[in-house]
Amino acid sequence: MKSPVPIETQEEANERMLRSLEQALKWFQGDASEVKVHRFVVEVPDIPEIRAKLNLTQEGLAAKIGVPVATLRNWEQGRRYPTGPARVLLNVLAREPEVVMAAIAASETVEAAE
């Protein structure tokens, strides 16, 4: 990975920021000549499929992963999409359900003991 360019003065930092903002504006206006755009596709997990594999209701899965049922329903119905740690957890759950469920069970046991 490329290391960041050292900034020696506040003036240089300001100039770099201004150039970046100008490039972003040009890109937004359709001119990509000065911009390198990176696009990443992050898989959205199939939550109903995950629930079916685990034999859990919406309420059951929501409780296991610590989100409100309404959030889970929004994800399933495409009104919203899981992001950040929730997306990661669901993707791992889709691939390694036994491992994740064992970790969840272990954490539930610790919480109950406290």
Average pLDDT, the chain: 88
Torsion over CA: 75, 81, 56, 51 (sign): positive
Residues 22 and 56 in one domain: no
Structure tokens at 58: 């919406």
Residue 113 has pLDDT above 80, yes or no: no
Whether residue 2 is contained in a domain is answered as no
Structure tokens at 12: 């240089």
Q: Is 72 exposed, middle or buried (0-12, 13-18, 19+ CB in 10 A)?
A: buried
Could you tell me the sign of the dihedral formed by the alpha carbons of 46, 49, 53, 54, in that order? positive
Grade residue 27 by pLDDT with cuts at 50, 70 and 90: confident
Residue 1 lies in a domain: no
The answer to whether residue 73 sits within a structural domain is yes
pTM above 0.75, yes or no: no
Q: For residues 64 and 106, state if they share a domain.
A: yes
- Number of neighbouring beta carbons within 10 Å of residue 56: 16
Co-location of 52 and 81 in the same domain: yes
**pLDDT per residue over 43-99, tens digit each?**
789 999 999 999 999 999 999 999 999 999 999 999 999 999 999 999 999 999 999
Segments forming the whole domain that contains residue 12: 7-38
Instruction: Verify that 79 and 56 share a domain, yes or no.
Output: yes
Does residue 105 share a domain with residue 54? Answer: yes
Secondary structure of 60-109 as H, E, C letters: HHHHHHCCCHHHHHHHHCCCCCCCHHHHHHHHHHHHCHHHHHHHHHHHHH
Same domain, 32 and 51: no
Same structural domain, 68 and 26: no
How many structural domains compose the chain? 2
Q: Is 34 in the same domain as 79?
A: no
Q: How confident is the model at residue 41 (pLDDT cuts 50, 70, 90)?
A: confident
What average pLDDT score do residues 6-10 get?
A: 78
